[in-house]
Amino acid sequence: MKKIVVLGSTNVDTILNIKRLPLPGETMAMDGQSSAGGGKGANQALAATRAGAETSFVSKIGDDHAADFMLDTFKKDGLNIDHVTETSKAGTGKAYILLDENGQNSILIYGGANQTISIDDINAAKETIKKSDCLISEFETPISVTIEAFKIAKENGVITILNPAPAKDNIPLDLLKLTDIIVPNETEASAITGIKVEDKKSIINSAEKLNKMGINRVIITIGSRGSLYYSEGKEEFVDAYKVPVIDTTAAGDTFIGYLAAKLDSDLGNVVEAMKFASKASSIAVQTKGAQNSIPYVEDVKI
């Protein structure tokens, strides 16, 4: 069984259902609201678990009811939470998701406890990282902590996957050089490279620039159009599955968790893993919410 470690955020999501995004200064009525488990790290960890991998999660939560809610979810799925620790310095992270009637979302994040993860937490999880096949991280926790975790991974032959989200334009080169596979969407790729991702040519140009920045393998997800794999001058597009879209929340996280669970240790099957991940994402977008939309492996058939 594949062993995966995810370093990342734990949030409780509040989903606000609206017809469209409000204009500046506009007051709008909502069509409804609901709460669910979220956080990019937690989503990716649960996706990897549901994809069949033995997954450990490194995260920080507050001393509050939101934390209890999230821990119950993790335990139910069999996620290893030995390194999910509690702090009294901040509350459990929260996300407020504006979801329009077309299934598109805009998200506001309160980092909370996620921003208190420290290098001490990484050192406590060191042996778990060393024994894993793959380490995943994103940008809802401090970058300095991710760099330390990736150093441990690379020293021990562990594959590193970076999801550069939320988008940043000043990622330390030290982190990029420690990354085996980077998985941005169009917005994130544009922020990193300065190349506006609009069409096939600009997607390839953006991926090529990421290659030159020190990352040998680039996967750019492009929503309903699918995803691009680029490595050392060669590219391959993977089409998305055409399905009715209800909510895109956690679709990217589902993709990354399933991708990691499918990858071979020599990374020789990246495109095959992308197709598997794309199928899982196509299932996720057909259900409202984040973690409740992430499918189980027995439902993902290609």
Q: What is the tens place of the pLDDT at every residue in 249-300?
A: 889 999 999 999 999 999 999 999 999 999 999 999 998 878 989 999 999 9
> pLDDT of 55-99, one tens digit each?
999 999 999 999 999 999 999 999 999 999 999 999 999 989 898
Residue 214 inside a domain? The answer is yes
Residue 16 inside a domain? The answer is no
**224 marked as part of a ligand binding site:** yes
> pLDDT of 98-153, one tens digit each?
989 887 888 888 999 999 999 999 999 999 999 999 999 999 999 999 999 999 99
Residue 97 inside a domain? The answer is no
- Single-letter amino acid code for the residue at 90: A
Q: Kindly report whether the peptide bond that precedes residue 166 is cis, defined as omega within 30 degrees of 0.
A: yes
**pTM, rounded to two decimals:** 0.93
Residue 127 inside a domain? The answer is yes
The answer to whether 61 touches 85, Cβ cutoff 8 Å, is: yes
Domain count, the chain: 1
Give pLDDT, residue 103. 79
Residue 100 inside a domain? The answer is no
- Taking each helix axis from N to C end, the angle separating 270-284 and 251-262, rounded to the nearest 10 degrees, works out to 150
The answer to whether 41 touches 112, Cβ cutoff 8 Å, is: no
Return the active site residues. 253
Residue 61 sits in a domain whose CATH number is 3.40.1190.20
> pLDDT of 37-53, one tens digit each?
999 999 999 999 999 99
Residue 46 inside a domain? The answer is yes
**252 marked as part of a ligand binding site:** yes
**121 marked as part of a ligand binding site:** no
**63 marked as part of a ligand binding site:** no
Which pLDDT band, with edges at 50, 70 and 90, does 13 fall under?
confident
Residue 106 inside a domain? The answer is no
Residue 156 inside a domain? The answer is yes
Query: What residues make up the domain containing 84?
Result: 3-9+39-92+113-293
